[in-house]
Structure formats: structure tokens, C-alpha cells
Amino acid sequence: MGQDEMKMYHKKTLVELSVLLQAGEVSSVELTEYFLARINAHDKNLNSFISVTETQALAAAEQADAAIKNGTAGPLTGVPIAHKDIFCTEGVRTSCGSKMLDNFISPYDATVVSKLKQAGMVMLGKTNMDEFAMGSSNETSFYGPVKNPWQSDRIPGGSSGGSAAAVAARLAPAATGTDTGGSIRQPAAMCGITGIKPTYGRISRYGMIAFASSLDQAGPMAQSAHDCALLLNAMAGFDDKDSTCLDKEVPDYTAELDKPLSGLRIGLPKEYFGEGLDAEVEKVVRGALDEYKKLGAELIDIELPNSGLSVPVYYVVAPAECSANLSRFDGVRYGYRCENPVDLMDMYTRTRGEGFGAEVKRRIMVGTYALSSGYYDAYYLKSQQLRHKISEDFREAFEKVDVIMGPTAPDTAFKIGEKSDDPISMYLSDIYTIAVNLAGLPGMSVPAGFVEGRPVGLQITGNYFQESQLLNVAHQYQLNTDWHRAIPEDFL
């Protein structure tokens, strides 16, 4: 073991690394080289990165060290991070996990990337993902599936599976992700890390390649709630480049982390603990809820009667929006173009036929059908009406409780290839997360234990703009447990 490995920087949280950097005990260049070496040593089998930006990372690290030296550094200055390959990064390939954008070099930074760059963070590279964020297992990527660091024959969850796997294997202290129907929370649960999806509109979507515009939201993925709070401080805020971004003051998300939980009312939806939930996963989740009772919280049974409709509603609304958003990929302006087209129509059809994978084509076809003449009212309009009812269920629930808890996913990570030929079964792995996106609420997943060596996540859902409360609730749990500290054996 080399001298750098002896330092075990990968075992430290983002918050702990920040303290070391500010104290001058390690430089950003040293830290960046350390994590680049871990990526080089471990990612060949994991496949969590699509691009590694070593040259840019070391240059940014040097700038961070200069800022620390001259006293202009912030808490995130010099800390390495990985970005999901859905965020545009100036001068770096932004593929969205698709053959369609394999050759696309972005001319600008997404607002999320820009904000974290301004905060002094160092980008290590771009992480693997389901193609155009469409998937729950990270198996639809043009670059091949990502493997779960805990058991390499298992999926890491999706679509932010590359980010989740990279953080779980400690190849990066933190990563960005996006959540359209659970794509931060579900992979966070299956890889044993912490991830939060903020309220819709809390973080700018500018430069984040769109899947379903009314559902997509960016968020941080890291080891702990404290880490996520620091990241959210930098990521959140109004952006006039995004018409869906809300002009609302951003609080300091670290300010209420130490607030005691005495009197906290936790809602337990009966719909989240019924048929379809693995018995061992339920046992782990119940154990986490017992911990909250010890911390002074009250458990209250509630109902979300329309939550069972969330999967069918989502798989009309999301494909409808994706069919519109992905119409721009036509081979004309950027991205993949078929060879030797005979005419314009041949170029369109062959470019899209060759550039998109099977799951993306499936969703485009479903969405186009739902929006077509004669079916719009029956499918898309009806789904939007049901979406409103799902939101109403949450509104009524939050009159009785402060947060809602339950499993993040009905089972632990399944085997790679196990559900590839069964899209309905695949879609049901997001059954507990989708309703949160349809309602635009904030939600997060925290590590709560293991079943046969595979991580289980506890999902915490809050009312609109209550991210501070969610992070406080998660942080207090993590002060009293160490599930978030666990590292897969192969990556110790």
C-alpha cells in the first residue's frame, strides 16, 4: 500500500475533507491526485465514469489551493466532485449516456456545474447513467451497465447509478445527480449513500439535458446529510436562465442540522408497507423507525390513497414530455448523424433509429401515442388530473405530520440483466419515489442497513421547501447510526 493510500482520505466525509483543506493538512492537488488514482485503480470493473477529466481537475485544484492560501476560500473550495453526464460541462463531452451525444462537446456549463465551480469544487469527471436518464438500473447506458460496489453482479440503481456507485466506492467524495421519478433516491438506497431531491424549482435546470421538464430536478449525492447540506447551499438558488426556477431565498441548510427531534411527527403511509415490499427490507426500515422513536419522534399512521396510481400516471406524463424534448436530436445541428443519408427523411429516421437505445425509443413511442389526436384527453389530460389528486393526498397528510417515511425501494439491488426483458417489473422499482416527483416535493434517501450484504435506504419526504428539516431529520439519525460510514469491502 502506497503512502497516499495510508492517508485513507476516501474514508472521510466531504465535511471532514473540507476541514483538512482549510487547516492546510492536505492540498487540493494532493486530494485530487488521490481520488484520480482511486478512479484509475478501481473503475475499470465498476464502470461508474464515462469521462475522467484529469487535466482540468488538477488545474482547478491548483486554483483552489491558491484561494485557500490567500484566504478567499469557502467550505467547498478544493473538494473533488463528479458530475452526472447529463449536466453540460464546457469543453468536455456531455453524452447523457447515449450514442446520440457520444461526440457532443458542450460549449457551456450547466448552472449547477457553474455554481459548484464558483464554490471552488474540483470536477473529477462525468459519471455513467441510464440513457437520457431513462431507466432504474443503469443498464440502458450506451457505455454499458454500472456495477454495484457492494455486489458486482448487481445493478446500482438508476438513472444516477454512476454517481451513486462512485460515491459508494469512495472514488469521489460527492457527486451530482438528477431525479425525475426517483433517480437520486433509488440508486442512493441501493448503493448505501445519502441523496436528496429538493423541491421542484429549487435548483436551476439550465444546462441539464431535459428528460421530463415538469419532473426533472438536480440534487447532491454524498456520504452524509451534512455533506448534502453543504452541497445544496451552493447548488440552490434562482436562475433567470430557467423559467421553472423559483425566486426564493436560499437558507443555510447546515443551520438546523443539530435541532433535536423531540416531538417530530413522522407519517407512515399504509400504502408503503403493504404488498410488494420485501419482508427483510421492511424489517430494516422498521428498525430505522424505532431509532427515530428513541430520538423523541412520534410515529403516525397515514394514508396516501392515490399513491398506487403514481406509476401509471408517471409513465404517461414522463414519456409525453420526453417525446417532445428528444425531438431536437435529429442529426442536423449536433450529436450523432447516420452515414450517407439519401434524403432528409432518411437522415431523420436513421439517425434516431441508430442513435437512440431501446428504452428511449419505447418511451418516445408511448409519449407520442399519449399526445396524439384522439388520445390526448384519454391519457395525458387524465394523467395530469390524477397527478393533482396525488399532490392533494400529500397536502392533507402534511396537515397531520411533519415528514413522511418509508422504504425508498421495495427490494434491494437486483442482478444485472434480471429485469431487462420485463420493463413493467423494472418500472415498479420506483413505486415509492415517483409520487414525490409528481407532487414536486423534496425527498431524500439515507442508508438504514443491509439485507444479505446489500444496502437498504430509508426515504424521508417533506413539505415544499422543507429541505432544512429533511436534512436535520437525516443528520440526527446519522449521528446515532453508522450505516452511512460503511464502505464495500473491495474498496476499503
CA distance 363 to 366: 5
- The pLDDT score that the predictor gives to residue 4 is 47
Nine cell digits for residue 455: 444496502
pLDDT at residue 424 in the model: 84
Q: How many CA atoms lie within 13 A of 321 on its CB side?
A: 20
- H-helix or E-strand spanning residue 14: helix 14-22
Please list, in sequence order, all residues whose beta carbon lies within 8 angstroms of the beta carbon of residue 339, skipping any fewer than 6 positions away. none
DSSP state of 380: I
Question: Which residue among the candidates 141, 163, 183, 429 is catalytic per the annotation?
Answer: 183
Interval 16-61: pLDDT, tens: 999 999 999 999 999 999 999 999 999 999 999 999 999 999 999 9
> CA triplet 144, 147, 150: central angle to 5 degrees?
180
**Alpha-carbon distances of 277 from 14, 292, 459, rounded to whole Å:** 33, 21, 14
Which of 18, 48, 84, 224 is catalytic? The answer is: 84
What pTM did the predictor assign?
0.96
Give the cell for residue 63. Answer: 486554483
Residue 379 per-residue DSSP state: I
d(CA 121, CA 89) in angstroms, rounded, equals: 14
Is 84 catalytic? The answer is yes
- Going across the sheet that includes 80-84, the strands are 49-52, 122-127, 80-84, 174-179, 217-222, 194-197, 443-451, 454-462, 403-407, 265-269, 298-302
Per-residue pLDDT tens over the stretch 336-381: 999 999 999 999 999 999 999 999 999 999 999 999 888 888 899 9
Q: Each residue of 282-291: pLDDT tens digit?
A: 999 999 999 9
Given the residues 159, 307, 310, 383, the one annotated as active site:
159
- The full set of domains in the chain, from first to last, is 3-263+404-491 (3.90.1300.10)
Alpha carbon of residue 393 to chain centroid: 25
Confidence of residue 6 (pLDDT cuts 50, 70, 90): low
183 catalytically annotated: yes
Q: Is residue 323 flagged as an active site residue?
A: no
